[in-house]
A = this chain, B = another copy of it.
Amino acid sequence: MQPVLYGYFRSSCSWRVRIAFALKGIEYEQKSVNLIKDGGQQLTDQFKAINPMQQVPAVTIDGITLSQSLAIIQYIEETRPEPRLLPADPKQRGQVRIICDIIASGIQPLQNLYVLQKIGADKVQWAQHFINRGFEALEPILKQTAGKYCIGDEISMADICLVPQVYNAERFKVDMSQFPTIRRLNQTLIEIDAFKATHPSCQPDTPDDLQA
């Protein structure tokens, strides 16, 4: 049975999982959970049974249900190791995970929909503040670790996290000229099929007026 991804076209964490599936060449079914419509379909009892955190993404795979994008991606990595998304060397794996966690714990949660709903009118400045703060840390780190991609010349989980976060930054009008390394990496990655085909602008649940 194919894995099922419960996601939303514009959710950056859902996009991370779409990229991982695409890089691994794994076929999957997408079920859309519209975070806006009906007051948020993630809040229904039906979805709460799938993910008690009431967030996307969630994935059913191999008879289990997983949530939290990095937990999902690492499960996929451990059960479908080729092509690998984590380097073999523990030090390089550490570098990959630092970048993933800066984004997944240090940036994205602070500009998540349910947080911004609680912030209210100041939400754009709030999101900009925390994305800028995170990118100011990522830029010097990536300057040291990057080759063609975030860590050397091999695509990794770090790249999977970076591109959707840059997409969010652009949505919140962050001035990306401050972050030349991040911008350069994003421009390279976004041309790769697995990133292009999974972009929020071309998903089954992308509204017509936002289609690329």
Which residues in A have some Cβ–Cβ distance to B below 8 Å? 51-55, 62, 64, 66-68, 70-72, 74-75, 78-79, 90-91, 93-94, 97-98, 100-102, 104-106, 108-110, 115, 118, 126, 129, 134, 136-138, 140-141
- With A108-B105, A109-B110: A74-B97 Cβ-Cβ less than 8 Å: yes
Pairwise interchain contact A90-B118, C-beta atoms closer than 8 A: no
- Number of copies of chain A assembled together: 2
Pairwise interchain contact A78-B98, C-beta atoms closer than 8 A: no
| Residues in B whose Cβ lies below 8 Å from that of A129 | 118
| Residues in B whose Cβ lies below 8 Å from that of A137 | 51-54
| Residues in B whose Cβ lies below 8 Å from that of A140 | 52
| Residues in B whose Cβ lies below 8 Å from that of A70 | 97, 101, 105
Find A90's partner among B68, B75, B94, B105 (CB 8 Å cutoff).
B75
Pairwise interchain contact A68-B53, C-beta atoms closer than 8 A: no
Find A93's partner among B67, B68, B75, B98 (CB 8 Å cutoff).
B75
Pairwise interchain contact B134-A98, C-beta atoms closer than 8 A: no
- Apart from the given pairs A70-B101, A118-B129, 18 other A-B contacts in the complex at a CB distance below 8 Å: A52-B136, A52-B138, A53-B137, A66-B98, A68-B106, A70-B97, A70-B105, A71-B98, A71-B101, A74-B97, A75-B93, A78-B90, A78-B93, A105-B105, A105-B108, A109-B109, A110-B115, A118-B126
Find A105's partner among B68, B79, B98 (CB 8 Å cutoff).
B68
Query: Can you name 10 A-B pairs with beta carbons within 8 Å?
Result: A52-B136, A52-B138, A52-B140, A53-B102, A64-B91, A68-B98, A70-B105, A75-B93, A75-B94, A79-B90
Pairwise interchain contact A53-B97, C-beta atoms closer than 8 A: no
| Residues in B whose Cβ lies below 8 Å from that of A126 | 118
- Bound CA span A70–B100, Å: 10
Rounded to whole Å, the gap between the CB of A114 and the closest CB of chain B is 8
